Amino acid sequence: MAGIYIHIPFCKQRCYYCDFHFTTSLKNKDAIINAIIFELETRKTEITEEVKTIYFGGGTPTVIASTDIVKILDAVYQNYDVIEEPEITIEANPDDINVEKLKELKKTAINRFSVGIQSFHQKDLEFMNRAHDKNQAEECISLIKDAGWDNITIDLIYGVPNQSEQDWRYNLNRAFELGVPHISAYALTVEDKTPLNKLIKSGKYPNVSDEKALSDFKVLIDETKKHGFIQYEISNFGKENYFSRHNSSYWQGEKYLGVGPSAHSFNGQSRRWNLANNKLYLEGLRSNSYFEAEVLTATDSFNEYLMTGLRTIWGVSLDRVLNDYGEEFYRELLTKVDDMLKNGKLVKKGDVVLISEAARFQTDGITSDLFVVD
């Protein structure tokens, strides 16, 4: 089974924290849509498996017309073997959601919404320079539900300066009250080339605090658990049957095809990524030079397996390490794992090792201690 990721590189306005690939100019919109369709047509031999998930990400896919979404979906169905009941997700921003837009999207096969709420507080939305306001954040979920979708996930950001613990609890409670079955929650990260970084450096914005992120993360874990959510990945919390099938397949090492500028693909052995520049991507299409690629070494692949496995409830299977990577990787891992089992950082269930609940806040550090370095 495989997945298809479609990157729509347009946004209405730049959120201060964001370093995903997008532009706020729609000048090349039609050319990009055509290029995405061209990619889908010309790369079909890369995916011979059935496609079980399709994901429109960005950027902001709801910025483009639903007719464009339909054109892209038609190209997927015409060129790939899509299973009977695929998961088809669209990332949506609250300010794009209205009755008319939902009516159009309802005519498509999209069956899952991922809405970038980020916060239900006006002051946070302004701090982040989001295009939507508090009322739109509140109303869009009901609109999507009323239009007939129940598979809805929202993105929230925590560790936000000037946001009190009470404010963070309020955000989580609103999510519970609105009845969404899935939440993705990310710690605010200051990326290099973002306005947020400049604002902090110039002293106009307060810096983010690791302590605040950690205490918000603890609240997040406790509260989602109390409300019946399963933390199936470090940043993802879903009710039973509502885990993201698309993202889960990334984390379980399945193949995926990514189309559009900046999109990544994985074919089991190598990774490739399209240029994160709309102009160069469009120019490169003519000469097949719109991407770069690398073949994963055994060490890369092993480290990736550790990294994704330990972030999820599926953990790392020692049997799989032995079978797929051989005796040397297995022995080295086993020695380190034994120590970490003793000091309570890891737990073992059958042949699978997982980060213990108490050590979940140190996931990144533990994982890098287990990495093999060539």
Ligand X SMILES: C[S@@+](CC[C@H](N)C(=O)[O-])C[C@H]1O[C@@H](n2cnc3c(N)ncnc32)[C@H](O)[C@@H]1O
CB 357 within 8 A of CB 313: no
In the complex with ligand SF4, the residue whose CB is nearer, 194 or 308, is 194
CB of 338 to ligand X, least distance (A): 35
Q: Which partner from the list ligand X, ligand SF4, none does 94 bind, CB cut-off 5 to 8 Å by kind?
A: none
CB of 161 to ligand X, least distance (A): 12
Query: Is residue 182 classed as helix, strand or coil in its secondary structure?
Result: strand
CB 211 within 8 A of CB 217: no
**Which positions lie near ligand SF4, rule CB under 6 A?**
11, 14-15, 18, 20, 22, 58-60, 93, 116
Query: Is residue 115 classed as helix, strand or coil in its secondary structure?
Result: strand
Q: Which partner from the list ligand SF4, ligand X, none does 191 bind, CB cut-off 5 to 8 Å by kind?
A: ligand X
User: Under 8 Å CB-to-CB from 75, ≥6 apart: which residues?
Assistant: 36, 37, 40, 41
**Which positions lie near ligand X, rule CB under 6 A?**
17-18, 20, 57-58, 60, 91, 93, 116, 118, 155, 157, 186, 188-189, 191
User: Under 8 Å CB-to-CB from 363, ≥6 apart: which residues?
Assistant: 234, 310, 311, 355
In the complex with ligand X, the residue whose CB is nearer, 79 or 244, is 244
In the complex with ligand X, the residue whose CB is nearer, 18 or 125, is 18
Using DSSP bridges, classify how beta strands 152-158 and 182-187 pair: parallel, antiparallel or unpaired: parallel
In the complex with ligand X, the residue whose CB is nearer, 17 or 302, is 17
CB of 190 to ligand SF4, least distance (A): 14
In the complex with ligand X, the residue whose CB is nearer, 182 or 345, is 182
CB of 82 to ligand SF4, least distance (A): 26
CB of 20 to ligand X, least distance (A): 5
CB 118 within 8 A of CB 168: no
- DSSP, residue by residue, 236-284: EEE-TT-S-HHHHHHHTT-EEEEESTT-EEE-SSEEEEE-S-HHHHHHH
Instruction: Return the residue nearest ligand X (CB atom).
Output: 116
